[in-house]
Amino acid sequence: MKQRLVIITEIISPYRIPLFNALAQRGDLDVHVLFLAETDPGLREWRVYKDEIRFSHEVLPSWRKRVGSHNFLINAGMARALDRARPDVILCGGYNYLASWLSLFWALRQKIPFVLWSESVAQDLRPGLALFELLKSEFLRQCNGFVVPGRSAHEYLQSLRIKEENIFTAVNAVDNELFRQGSERARSTADGSRRELKLPQRYFLFVGRLVREKGVFELLSAYAGLEESLREEVGLVFVGDGDCRQKLEQLAREIVPGKVSFAGFVQRDQLPTYYALAEMLILPTYTDTWGLVVNEAMACGLPVIVSQAAGCAADLVTDDWNGRTVAARDESALRTAMRSLAADSALRAELGLNSRRRIAEYSAQNWCEGIARMISAVGRNFG
C-alpha cells in the first residue's frame, strides 16, 4: 500500500517543483504538498510556474507582514487541510512559522511521524535569542526524524545532539537537464546572446540577491584589485537585485579600467544564458543554507568559487577539481582565486567538466531516493 506523504513548505518555488514532480511519479508514495503561500512578493520576484506542477497540492489562505528582518506569515486552515489529506508521514520545511507548530501539534494528536526538512547550518546569521533557541529545541525534540541536504546541515544537527540514526540525507537539486540544455543552446548562439544581453566577451558572474551578506562588496573590491590588464579583458556581471544595488553601481563606476554590469533580476528560463557565457560563478556569501545557484552553474558546466560559509560548499566544491573554496570576507583569497582561474582557459574547461560530473549526483531522482529511505526508516522506528 502506498504511503501518504504530506509536505509542508512556504511557497511555490521553481526550484522545488521538479523535486515534487519526481516524488509524485514514484509508485510507492502518494504525495500531497501544502504551500503556506503562493509566493513572497516582498522578497522574491520568481515567476510561479503553475503550469509545470504535476503533483497534488493546496495553497493555504495566508496573511504576510514583514517588519525589518522579520517575516511574519499567518495561515488559516492548517488542521482542516491535514484532516482532508490524511497523511501517514508529515515532512515540514522549517519551524519558524505558526503553521509549522500547528502541523506538529496535529501530528502529535494523530500519532503519526513528523519529520523536519532542515537546511540550517552553523554559519546562519540569525540571532541566537534565548526564547527562540528554547522554542527551537522543543520543536526539534518532538520531531521523529530530520532530512538534510548535505554535510553542513548534518553537522549542525549533530551539534544540537540529534541522534545520527534520525538524520537522513536527501540531496539538494535543481532541474539539471533544463540548465544543461539551456546552456548548450546559449553557447551555440553565443555572439547573438552577448549582443542581446549586452554582456562582455569574458566575465565573472554573480547570481543572487544584492545584499551585504552575500559578499557582494568583497566581490566588487576583489575585482577592483585585479591587474588593470585583466580588468580590461574580463568583466564582472551581477545578476539579481536588492537593497545594495545602488551603492554597488556607484562603486563600480569608480573602477577604471573595468567592465561591471548589473542585469537586474532574471527569471529561471533566461539564467542558463548568463551561466553559459561566463568564465565562472562566484558566490562569496557570509551565510547561505545551501546556494542553489551553484547547482545551476555546475549543471551549465562552470567552475565555481564559493565561500566556505555556503551550505553547499562541503558537498559540491573540491578545490582545484571543479573550483575553489575561500573563507567568507577574505577578499585577498577571493582575488587570488579569480586571478588564477581567469588566467588558465584549459583549467577552467577541466573544472567545468568536473562540475557537470559531480552535479549529476545531485538530481531530483536522488532527492526522491533520500526521501523514500527516510519514510521507510521512520515508519519502522515510529512508536
For residue 242, give its domain range: 176-359
Do residues 103 and 82 lie in contact, with contact meaning Cβ atoms separated by under 8 Å?
yes
Q: Are residues 169 and 180 in the same domain?
A: no
Identity of the residue numbered 251: L
Q: Give the C-alpha separation, 372 to 28, whole Å.
A: 9
Among residues 276, 266, 150, the alpha carbon closest in space to that of 210 is found at 266
Q: Are residues 335 and 355 in the same domain?
A: yes
Q: Are residues 275 and 320 in the same domain?
A: yes
Look at the chain and report how many structural domains it folds into: 2
CATH code of the domain in which 202 resides: 3.40.50.2000
Q: Give the C-alpha separation, 364 to 55, whole Å.
A: 14
Q: Are residues 101 and 159 in the same domain?
A: yes
Q: Are residues 131 and 75 in the same domain?
A: yes
Q: Are residues 255 and 208 in the same domain?
A: yes
Q: Are residues 198 and 81 in the same domain?
A: no
pTM of the model: 0.95
Classify the C-alpha dihedral 223-126-43-67 as positive or negative. negative
Q: Are residues 155 and 84 in the same domain?
A: yes
Q: Are residues 202 and 190 in the same domain?
A: yes
Is residue 89 packed enough to be buried (19+ CB in 10 Å), middle (13-18) or exposed (0-12)? buried
Kindly provide the b/e burial profile for residues 123-145, where b requires at least 16 CB atoms within 10 angstroms of the residue's own CB: beeeeeeeeeeeebeebbeebbb
- Please give the chain's pLDDT, 383 residues, in tens: 789 999 999 999 999 999 999 999 999 999 999 999 999 887 777 899 999 999 999 999 999 887 766 678 999 999 999 999 999 999 999 898 999 999 999 999 999 999 999 999 987 655 556 777 788 899 999 999 999 999 999 999 999 999 999 999 999 999 999 999 999 999 999 999 999 999 999 999 999 999 999 999 999 999 999 999 999 999 999 999 999 999 999 999 999 999 999 999 999 999 999 999 999 999 999 999 999 999 999 999 999 999 999 999 999 999 999 999 999 999 999 999 999 999 999 999 999 999 999 999 999 999 999 999 999 999 887 76
